[in-house]
Amino acid sequence: MSLPPTLYIQADNSAKDNKNFILMGFLASLVQQNIFKKIKLSFLMVGHTHEDVDQMFSRVSVHIARKSVPTLPILQDLAREAYHPMPNVQHLENIWDYRQMGISSKVQIVGHSSPHQFKFVKEGDKVLMHFKEWPLKSTTYQGVDVTSLAAAYGNEPQPIQQITEKGRKVFEAMEGDLKKWQDGGKMTEEQIKWWKDHLQRERELPFPSVKRASQFQPFRCPEEAPEVAVPAMQALHDHIRNLKKKSTVKVVHRRA
């Protein structure tokens, strides 16, 4: 499977979740492996209340208000109904541990907390990360070589194999609440069984259902549109010429 040459990412300006050397290195590795020709990573400014992703989740929130959402499949169905075009809603039961690969790297980047736009490209054998404070045409990019950071992701990742202590406590709390939800009439026996089965699957950490980065083919540029056949092209030119004709409107004497 090949992907388009350019990947655009919008992310919250949070160092804990997005704006860190682990994500930067992973994106650099995708360019290094030719999975993408270019990646543009933009961080949202404070007060982005009209940003398109926020609008989408606002529609989902309105749609599910005052509805019973006892299980994850019901939530997924409601999310699909809430927005057009229909979003692709999936639950990932496990993922590849690229984070651990980044943590194991002997290099990292610093000084990247202020810029709001980053661009990853490959020049020869090097992967460069260009950055600037704001996504304005009047400002120019600066650049830094991040090839050594991308190299940390050269091996195949392993699935996440251990639940964190925080995750374990969440599972225990949810299992303790199941009886209360059932006794309170908030869930049926069938829904309670779904949650028990779901929590058990989560504890077992199934094999990831998503591909590893190395399983993608190199990016492919869109194919050029084939030339239009001559008769069709001539008809198109004739139509355009007719559209350019000017109408003449005037007042004339009526015949007696």
How far apart CA 158 and CA 207 sit, in angstroms, is 10
**CA quadruple 211, 217, 218, 221: dihedral sign:** negative
Cis bond upstream, residue 70 (ω within 30): no
Strand partners for 6: 38
- At 139 the pLDDT is 87
Largest Cα span, the chain: 99
**39: helix, coil or strand?**
strand
Contact 54, 48 (CB under 8 A): yes
Contact 142, 131 (CB under 8 A): yes
Q: In what order do the strands lie in the sheet with 6-11?
A: 6-11, 38-43, 117-123, 126-132, 142-145
Contact 230, 45 (CB under 8 A): no
pLDDT in tens, the chain (256 residues): 678 999 999 888 888 889 999 999 999 999 999 999 999 999 987 776 567 778 888 999 999 998 999 999 999 999 999 998 999 999 999 999 999 999 999 999 999 999 999 999 999 999 999 999 988 888 899 999 999 999 999 999 999 999 999 999 999 999 999 989 888 888 999 999 999 999 999 999 999 999 999 999 999 887 755 555 556 566 666 766 766 666 556 555 556 5
Terminal CA-CA length for the chain: 77
